[in-house]
Structure 1
Amino acid sequence: MVSNVALKSRMIELGLTQEELARRMNDALDEITGRPGDVSDRTVRNLVSGKTRRPIGRTCVALERVFDCPVKDLGFSPPRTAVPPEDPVRRRTFITSATGTAAASFVPASRRVGAADVERLQDGLDHLTTLDDRRGGHSALEEAALAGAQLALRLQQSGVSERVRQRLFSVAADYTTRAAWSCIDDRRLDQAQQHLGRSMVFAGMAQDSAAQFSAWNQIAMLSRQRRRHTDAISAAQAAQALPITRRDPLFASLAHARLAIGHSNRNDRHTALRSLGYAEEALDKARPVSRPSWIGFYGPAELLAITAIVQQRLGLSAEAEASSHRALAITPDRYRRNRALSTVRLALAQLHQGDLDLACATASDVFSIMEGAEIPGRIRTELGDFHRSVQDHAPKSQQAAELTDRLRAKWS
């Protein structure tokens, strides 16, 4: 049984739990029929898990009312009256929908899976990337990504050409890496490590150096979170050695930036700043070309944010503050999580220069930036580090007490 990726993605988009979806479906039925609905938590579990593939009657009506779309766009087979029984186009599922989420589509058993089918899978991956930019990593996003990878792996076992098989392995690698990233951002590091191991295998089968780069990039980030700074440097160097890095200056720039962070964490000032210089030079050479959607986050704004991290690690707080301001000035609003992280780092740079009032006010902006979404584990960790720094600098101050109260209220 394959879980309904489309429904999960739409629930993520609307911020709905299974219990909340059941409540909304019952409210919709009450509005339509004038009688309370009887949708149970078990009904919704069956819808999400894939056990129910063709909702009928009141369940079908309620789903379409809540999500404002046909049930086929939610990954379900439509009611039998909607499609003639002899229609041959509903045999295998893969990722697509009108909004780019993972949804159900089908190909006849007599036709080989082709390039258009791979592109539908990639559309679903692009939508998950957009969700991550807005909300950050969380378990529901991880599950949706893993379901997409499972689907790509299942399709490559069908009658496909060697080229399509490799592309499907590449898509599976990208989905699995997306699941790993969701765990990294949510600070579930052991789970992320497992996903990255599988992703690297799929990327190798695909012979896709861009997918391999994505995995090495995240291994570098995971190693940094675990304070294994030598491993982080080795991962960035492995990314540097890939063909995609030699072909595309944007990838080369990101690899140099990761190296800069690794060297700064080992307090190697000269090498860290030199790597930042290389990253800037490479980024200046990058030109707009077709690239995987996952690397869309990287550009001048992200390099400035990374520069602020390196400068702060090296004790250059004034420079880190300036870089954070510059990063925030050009980071698009859709990258909410990235803006929130840069804001915490700006606050830390201000604190290390002795401006307690300004630093605490800046840190409080994070809650406004992430309003309406659960704050991912990585941001929570950064806020926790900032809070501990405030306690170290001025443990009995009013600002420290107010920040403590606010964090407790938000975390509860």
Structure 2
Amino acid sequence: MVSSTVTSGRPGRPPQPNLAFRRLRGQRSPAEFAAAVRRAAREIGERVGCDARYIGRVESGEIRCPNYAYERVFLHMFPGRTLTDLGFAPRSSVRGRRARTGDASPPPGAAAARTGDGAQDPCGACAPPRPYDSPRPPGPGRPDHPRHPCDTYDDHEEGDVLRRAFMTGGGTTVAAVSLGPLGLALDAAAAQRPARRAGASDAGALEETVRRIRLLDDRHGAGGLQRRAAAPLRAAYALLEAGATRQATADRLAASTGELALSVGWLAHDSGRFPDARSHYAEALATARTTGDAALEAHAFCNTAFLARDAGRPREAVRAAQAAQHVARSLGSARLLSLLALREAGGWAGLGDRAACAQALARARALHERGPCDADPEWMSFYGDAELEGLEAQCWSALGEWARAARHAERAAGLQDPHFTRNTALYTAELAGDLARDGRPDEAAAAGTRVLGLLEQVRSSRVHALLAGTARLLLPRRRTPGVAAFLDRYEAGTGVRGAG
């Protein structure tokens, strides 16, 4: 997606927090406010991929000037205000570019922006949004600035391109479209070239890579993306090894390299490549330990616990989740501790310990009810009411309480933000399996059919495996009304007869 990082044009000076925008958010959490932005966008026919991460970057001052799609949405949300009233910098002040005259939102196809001396802007990034354009490459002669100051991390400009690339060319094509413009090397050979010391622009590009991978996974799942995402990770390790010009940059590189390792590990995890995932998680944990990064360490233990549960090592899952909670207590995030308690509950469920599982679930709910706070990690934007219900459903399913699991899975699917397409498919697939095991074939078939519709947008080995299991469970009930139609559609879509 188009980058949301906005360079200030004043190297060495940190971004100034956007206090005006923060005040407008009020008591709403970043995730809740992002949902309000998406609703407002739909009201005026815009499409923006706003999430809690984006809101955080606006409030921190990293995004000094939104692109035109976000501008229209924000002015719709707060009528009578200007961008300056919302705490943003005028476009004319960003890298010295002259303000536009006339309409603040020029129509597609308008002339490219011009620099202050009247020359044509070489990168064209200030041109208004064009929904079907591919990402703009860095301007000539500016290798250290892969992001333009007027660009934002926005679904409007690249969303349709990514969706079409994903469905026609597979996950590798999506990764090429979405990761290619970054200043990181995207091939193995580049990672072996003589290294230079990394600067702030490298750290920013690395942070943006992590965000893009997470966004693609939220929407489409891991299928096909994992191999492509491994190349930026190799380049990130090369940058980390080369060292940085400043200690602050070195710290950012280390944290982002660890987070990228966790993202690549999760893609392997979700694709069923458990040994690869375990290796990446271990690398991230090692990075956290050597740099004393408690937040990264908690995240690495969190992912390790989830992997251990899925790999059939529930006792390891409990130990890793408890280690994560020990580290996370100093971080001040109740939501993080809530998620880690759910990871522990999953391990206890795998061990068949219903009492310990129920205690961990109760603790998770109590912590979750404290609400979000500024200390919540950026990577936790997926964790809300829907994920809480979904993970609890998995615990009851592991304990064989199918009806209870189905109730929570149904709530999870109903609560899930449509932005997280992959999770909607996952919760609905879990619901279908729980209903089938609970002896409710018609309802299971209906849920399975909804998943088949979502598979037009999602490629996740986990979702496919759950759906295959449901099809096998329903095969003996093929004569039940509704089941035959689901099985026929499933078999036609997978090319497998007999629901194998």
* TM norm structure 2: 0.59
Partner secondary structure for residue 457 of structure 2:
coil
Residue 221 (structure 2) pairs with residue 136 (structure 1) = yes
Structure 2 partner of 1:220: 305
Distance 2:306 2:413 in 1: 21
Local SS of the residue matching 2:245: coil
Q: Give 1:331 deviation, angstroms.
A: 0.9
Residue aligning to 1:378: 462
Alignment of 1:162-311 (within 5 A): 162-243=247-328, 247-289=332-374, 291-311=376-396
Change in CA separation of 1:221 and 1:124 when aligned onto 2, cut-off 3 Å: same
Tell me, in whole angstroms, the C-alpha distance in 2 between the residues paired with 1:114 and 1:154.
9
How far off is 1:395 after superposition? 6.7
User: Which structure has greater helix proportion?
Assistant: 1
Is the 8 Å Cα contact of residues 198 and 242 (structure 2) preserved in structure 1? no
Return the match for 1:154 from 208, 226, 239.
239
Q: CA RMSD in A?
A: 3.1
Tell whether 2:382 aligns with 1:333.
Answer: no
Is it true that 1:389 corresponds to 2:473 in the alignment?
Answer: yes
Shift, 1:113, TM fit: 4.9
1:321 to 391, 406, 426: 406
Identity %: 25
Question: Where does residue 209 of structure 2 map in the other structure?
Answer: 124
Deviates more, 1:292-301 or 1:113-122: 113-122
Structure 1 residue identity aligned to 2:492: A
Instruction: Give the deviation of 1:181 after TM superposition.
Output: 0.4
Structure 2 partner of 1:359: 444
Judge which range, 273-282 or 359-368, deviates more. 359-368
* Whole-Å separation in 2 of the counterparts to 1:370 and 1:117: 36
Question: How far is 1:273 from its partner?
Answer: 0.8
Partner of 2:490: 407
The 1:293/1:410 distance shift into structure 2, 3 A limit, reads farther
Q: CA deviation at 1:356?
A: 0.9
SS in structure 2 of the partner of residue 372 of structure 1: coil
Aligned to 2:53: none
Q: 1:217 to 1:159 in 2, by over 3 A?
A: closer
2:171 corresponding residue in structure 1: none
* Residue identity opposite 2:490 in structure 1: L
Shift of residue 95, structure 1, vs aligned partner: 8.1
> TM-score under structure 1 normalisation?
0.71
1:370 Cα deviation after fit: 3.0
Is the CA contact 1:150–1:172 (under 8 Å) kept in the aligned structure 2? no
Distance, in Å, in 1 between the alignment partners of 2:394 and 2:183 is 44
Q: Is the 8 A contact 1:153 1:172 kept in 2?
A: no
**Any stretches of 5+ residues in structure 2 without a counterpart?**
4-48, 50-129, 154-177, 185-195, 496-500
Any conservation in 2 of the 1:217–1:239 contact (CA below 8 Å)? yes
SS of aligned partner of 1:165: helix
Distance in 2 of aligned mates of 1:317 and 1:139: 32
- Counterpart residue number, 1:350: 435
Contact 1:156 1:165 in 2 (8 A): no
| Cα distance change, pair 330–71 in 1 and its aligned pair in 2 (3 A) | same
Change (3 A) 1:366 1:67: same
| CA distances 1:240-267 after superposition (whole Å, capped 9, x unpaired) | 1114566211111011101111111211
Distance 2:255 2:371 in 1: 24
Instruction: Read off the aligned partner of 2:402 and give its amino acid letter.
Output: S
Matched with 2:95 is none
Unaligned runs of 5+ in 1: 1-5, 7-12, 14-63, 84-88
Q: 1:189 to 1:369 in 2, by over 3 A?
A: same
Deviations 1:217-262 (A, max 9, x none): 2212222222111111121112111145662111110111011111
